[in-house]
Structure 1
Amino acid sequence: MSKQCACKGIRRCLLCEDILNSIPLQKENENEKSELTSDIWYYCMLCGNKAYRENVSHDYHLDSSEFILINGVYVETNFISEEEENLLCQGIDQIPWVDSQSGRRKQDFGPKVNFKKKKIRIDTFQGFPAFSRFIIDRMKSVDKLADFLAVEMCNLEYVPSRGSAIDPHFDDFWLWGERLVTVNLLSHTCYTLSQKDSNVKVLVSLPRRCLCVLAADARYKWMHAIERHHVTSRRLGINIRELTEEFLENGSSWPVGNELLDKAKINFPTNSK
């Protein structure tokens, strides 16, 4: 029987669950059960570093003494306009998609990396799409990102029909730096932050057209995920990464980092699909 998806190992989507004669909503049911047994907290973007048991207004939080302190989450709503979102999506959909695990599709603009062997292939890196350059420029206006040097961009597509999701994980610590940046397009979703051997989950709301930054504790102490039941319609995520200090000036791998940063200034050819 031919495989219709890109899932490997324990990864699953609705396509391979159907091939394996699983109940198509098995993963969804697991998530719903997890929601019932988990200790759910809701991040407040106005407080900036706290999550509360109830998903209510910020004014209510001012009188609440029960919260989880979680440093390093930043969400800016309406980071781009609806017109800019349309232009981005049109540009993205002119570029071929590659099937990825857990029911997603992706477009990678960055080096090819073997994280286990710590090897980087630079020659295939052809820069970022020209239509996305304004995002990187606009990020400079965000205080937390004023010195951010973008070196990798990965566009990810999530759709309910494939059961798209991403399991709890840490992004690589060797190559990718502290700040993980995402621009959320087309629909609302949530990041689910969690820690190993804990039933606590912190839900970070990602409104349509927002910018989200995970750094500090939210980057290094909390894993992040997008659960299947939080994908209710097509969603595109533009994920942008920076380098660790090892690959920056005065770091031991600066020659490689310098070449990557030069490559990041090139406009990726997008004139064919």
Structure 2
Amino acid sequence: MEAAGERGARPDCGCKGIRSCLLCEGPAQAAPPPQKNDNFVYCPATGLAVGEPHSEFAGWAFPFPGVFLLEDFINEDEESKMVQLMDRDDWKLSQSGRRKQDYGPKVNFKKHKLKAGGFLGLPSFSQELVKRMEAYSVLEGFFPVEQCNLDYLPERGSAINPHFDDEWLWGERLVSLNLLSRTVLSMSCDSEDSLRLFTTLNQGGKKSNHFGFPRTSQNHEPNNCTPLSGFSNAEREISYASPTRLIPFKDATVAIHLTRRSLLVLYGAARYEWKHAIYRKHVESRRICITFRELSAEFSMGGEQEELGKELLEIALAFQGKPV
């Protein structure tokens, strides 16, 4: 039997290298990829990562900037029509028990090469999604040039290991629409630097979930908010008002709970400093994730590959296929 690190892509599951799923692990399943237990949970109302009640960090919290979470971005009827349209096209096998549909340029990330040839634009049903995103300030000027649909199934052991998205081609904002079932996006950081926590046991020793700091745009008011703005001031305020402690970044893992039909944007620190993952245990039933990516500065106005970026953008925004 081949060692996991030597295994090529398998025709029945698409896994290769160290990746695996329930299909290729076989009857005597190998140990699944590491699945950490998240010890903090992201609170959309405050923009804080709050210690899980049964963890050693219960009663502690820290600002977690770079997340915009919007529930019910689409309705049930829209979701159903989108899934029907996606299922009319072929799903290609991908690693770790996933299936995928890619709409974007052909890219070799290791060699930093890409081709626009063969790219016909984003699916037509995405036109309304992109237009709707413009209503929120965090997505102002967001023009995606790639859409990746990922299909997760528990019976395949679908998952995606902790990773950073590419920075050479893709820009700061990663936008994902979560369909069909809820899940948890697990955030982790490898840095040995210290993370400052503050206790939520304040106001005379009573636990409080109200911090009095700028709220995120979870109020869903379009174009009048800057998500997580002012958290530098909030952090200074809490450091004086509450007891603090230091822990290594790598000891904190943050769960972002994604409800069905919710829209998630990762940017700033959450994009570049924290890895994100979906573990098997958080895929309860079929789940489809639609991820949109924008161009990096290198392919934008004034960048070294501005002309190629302009070509990709024109193709992407032309859209294709049949509308919903």
TM-score scaled to structure 1, two decimals?
A: 0.88
* 2:172 partner SS: coil
State the distance in 1 between where 2:113 and 2:150 align. 23
State the distance in 1 between where 2:114 and 2:28 align. 38
Q: Deviations over 1:181-229 (max 9, x none)?
A: 0000000001100012623210001100000000000000000000110
- Counterpart pick for 1:157 among 151, 157, 163: 151
Q: Deviations over 1:4-58 (max 9, x none)?
A: 211111101000101xx5426x317x53xx32xxx6100001112x1101379xx
Letter in 2 for 1:219: R
Q: Deviations over 1:141-184 (max 9, x none)?
A: 11100210111000000010000000000000100000000000
- Counterpart pick for 1:53 among 28, 51, 54: 51
Q: Which runs of 5+ in 1 are unaligned?
A: 57-63
Q: Displacement, 1:269?
A: 3.5
1:75 corresponds to which residue?
69
1:23 corresponds to which residue?
29
2:111 pairs with 1:112: no
2:16 pairs with 1:8: yes
Residues 98 and 159 in structure 2, CA contact (< 8 A), matched pair in contact too? yes
* 1:47 partner SS: coil
2:76 pairs with 1:86: no
- In the TM superposition, 1:1-273 aligns within 5 A as 3-18=11-26, 22-23=28-29, 26-27=31-32, 30-31=34-35, 34-35=36-37, 40-48=39-47, 50-54=48-52, 66-196=60-190, 198-269=250-321
Letter in 1 for 2:154: P
**What is the percent sequence identity of the aligned residues?**
46
State the distance in 1 between where 2:320 and 2:166 align. 24
Q: How many matched pairs?
A: 254
State the distance in 2 between where 1:156 and 1:192 align. 17
Change beyond 3 A, Cα 1:55–1:105: farther
Change beyond 3 A, Cα 1:55–1:150: farther
Question: Which 4+ residue blocks in structure 1 deviate beyond 6 angstroms?
Answer: none
Q: Which runs of 5+ in 2 are unaligned?
A: 2-9, 192-249
State the distance in 2 between where 1:214 and 1:22 align. 38
Residues 95 and 270 in structure 1, CA contact (< 8 A), matched pair in contact too? no
TM-score scaled to structure 2, two decimals?
A: 0.75
* 2:97 partner SS: coil
Change beyond 3 A, Cα 1:55–1:153: farther
* 1:208 partner SS: coil
* 2:295 partner SS: coil
Change beyond 3 A, Cα 1:9–1:205: same
* 1:144 partner SS: helix
Question: RMSD in angstroms over aligned alpha carbons?
Answer: 2.0
Letter in 2 for 1:145: L
Task: Compare CA radii of gyration and give the structure with the larger one.
Answer: 2
